[in-house]
Amino acid sequence: MDKTKILIVDDEASSRTMLTVSLKDLNLDVVTAVSGKNAVACLEKATFALILMDVQMAELNGFQTAKIIRERETLRHTPIIFVTAARQEPADFFEGYDKGAVDYLLKPLDIRILRSKVRVFVKLFDQQAQLEQLRKMEAVGQLTAGIAHDFNNMLQVINGYAQLLKESLGDQTPHREKIDWILQAGNRGKELVQSLLAFSRQQVVRPETLDFNKLIREVHKQVLCTFMENVQVKLKLQEDVSPIFVDSGQMHQLLINLCSNARDAMPDGGTLLLETKAIEVKGENLADHPVDTAGDYIQLRVIDTGCGISPEALKRIFEPFFTTKDVGKGTGLGLSTVHGIVKQNGGSLNVKSHLGVGTTFTICFPVKKKHDS
């Protein structure tokens, strides 16, 4: 994932260096600008969580630069903190706030205060980005669900009349093959509708107590015939793991989608590993797993040695209709469907990938008895 960017604006090299070094271990992408004009140019090329800007600068001072920034529609909400050794009178502060500052840091700097304030603004920026993504996905989900329901109604008419036509003409009709093609296309359409509903989390969930390892072994046999001989499919399943309470049909679809995605990522061969194990997540190791609460979980890892996913694509892999495949070779619904299924069944997931190395999907489902649901 890309690091959150902040911009340091100061015409003194020593000040820029001091600020950069002070923030070095906060896992940020720190960009520096040597003037107000340079700062505006940087802001037009990228999105920043925060601007740390000196007031006293040649050409454009901090106040003048802030005024220009606030006049730009796309930049007006980027928070600005003035860092200054001069102009520390109340009137100067009010002028700075009037020009768009949200805070002041006075030199000589207390590094602890600097780092604390930067952390706060970066956290707010990251939370806002997550909220915007959730709103976008919710809107797309609502639209997708509406389309899926309407499409499903049309498919019922097509499939129903095709089946009636097949029965009325009998097995000897020369049109039997054509009717079968209609029914096959209709069934593929039904599968697409289920994928759309799974993404929008409006698919009906029928949870049951499931032996996950047993299902994985069944899917393993099914997918072997679809893989090239130069791809090995291995299982590493912890025996005697507790059952999970999920929709078995959706779990089957989840596994098929992940295996198909891995297969397509290894056109030149490789290895796919399906791994399960029981894990106990406690407060001290919560950050090591894709879950929000402590408890007992069954963890599934799907690991391939394929081409990997770029950092840019990794941000979008769960978006509906997003695909890196050639036109006609993917709907862009496979991984969005996986995401929807996991969330509908109370699970959590994350993905890690490196170009040229491979991809690992980690999914956790809580150990849950039927009477606990």
| Interval 346-356: pLDDT, tens | 899 999 999 99
Class for the domain spanning 207-372: alpha beta
Torsion angle in degrees (nearest 10) through CA of 242, 244, 249, 250: -130
The closest alpha carbon to 186, from 219, 168, 160, belongs to: 160
Label residue 190 by pLDDT band (50, 70, 90): confident
Given a cut of 60, whether residue 201 has pLDDT beyond it is no
Residues 130-143: tens digit of each pLDDT: 777 666 666 666 66
Given a cut of 90, whether residue 223 has pLDDT beyond it is no
Given a cut of 90, whether residue 90 has pLDDT beyond it is no
Helix axes 176-199, 334-344, angle to 10 degrees: 60
**Residue range 210-238: mean pLDDT, rounded:** 89
Label residue 373 by pLDDT band (50, 70, 90): very low
| Cβ pair 258, 361 in contact under 8 A | yes
Mention every residue, 6+ apart, whose C-beta is less than 8 A from residue 255.
Answer: 215, 216, 219, 274
Higher pLDDT, 332 or 323: 323
* Polymer length of the chain: 373
* Topology of the domain covering 4-109: Rossmann fold (3.40.50)
Angstrom distances, CA of residue 133 to CA of 75, 121, 127, 143: 19, 19, 10, 15
Half-sphere exposure of 364 (CA within 13 A, CB side): 20
207-372: same fold as 4-109? no
**Residue range 201-208: mean pLDDT, rounded:** 69
- At residue 364, the pLDDT reads 94
**Separate counts of helices (H) and strands (E) for the chain:** 10, 12
Task: Tell me the pLDDT of the chain averaged across its residues.
Answer: 83
Q: What are the domain boundaries of the chain?
A: 4-109, 135-199, 207-372
**What is d(CA 50, CA 3) in angstroms, rounded to the nearest whole number?**
13
* Range from 195-199, 235-239, 255-259 that averages highest in pLDDT: 235-239
Token look-up 């730009």 returns 72
- At residue 141, the pLDDT reads 63
Given a cut of 80, whether residue 296 has pLDDT beyond it is yes
Integer Rg of the chain from CA: 27
Given a cut of 60, whether residue 328 has pLDDT beyond it is no
- At residue 99, the pLDDT reads 75
At 279, which helix (H) or strand (E)? strand 270-281
